[in-house]
Amino acid sequence: MLERRKFIIGAGAALLAPASPALADIGESRSIALDNLHTGEKLLVEYWQQGQYVPQALALVNHVLRDFRSGDVHAIDPRLLDLLALLRHGLETTAPFSVISGYRSPATNALLRGEHEHSGVAAKSLHMQGMAVDIRVAGRSLGALHNTAMALRGGGVGYYPVSDFVHVDVGRVRRW
């Protein structure tokens, strides 16, 4: 009986919780707007059209989100772009994401770990797999960005108010 009651309470709570926007809610095409703060590059590109990812658009994203220290380019996981599109929709903005860090080569990640031993740079960072990005959005508070990312439950969310960015990734759902 107790298990049934927990189930009913849980189901009721799920009905009352605000729904996260789904990819279908953002239309038949998906775009991403990026402003790489380290290189000065800006990109506005439609990366999903007619039910599929656009390879040329993905290549442009890979270039803009490259490791700015080494110049290494790596494929960015399209799920990360989808997460960013949902974030943009949830924040009700067309402003670009200001990118602090996209892809990181293993050498850059090791360098950052060495320089900032207690900063939280993970040894197996998802940045090295093209699955993470550190961002902020002009016109939206860091708190709003963090809360929206948390509500999406699309992966990991790290909140760095002192450094003025939010980390989002498409790994397992977690927060710090």
pLDDT at 25: 75
pLDDT at 117: 58
Domain map of the chain by residue range?
A: 29-175
Closest alpha carbon to 76 in 26, 37, 124, 130: 130
CATH number of the domain located at residue range(s) 29-175 in this protein: 3.30.1380
pLDDT at 23: 83
pLDDT at 21: 61
Given a cut of 70, the residues of the chain with pLDDT beneath it are 1-21, 116-120
Q: What is the pTM of this model?
A: 0.84
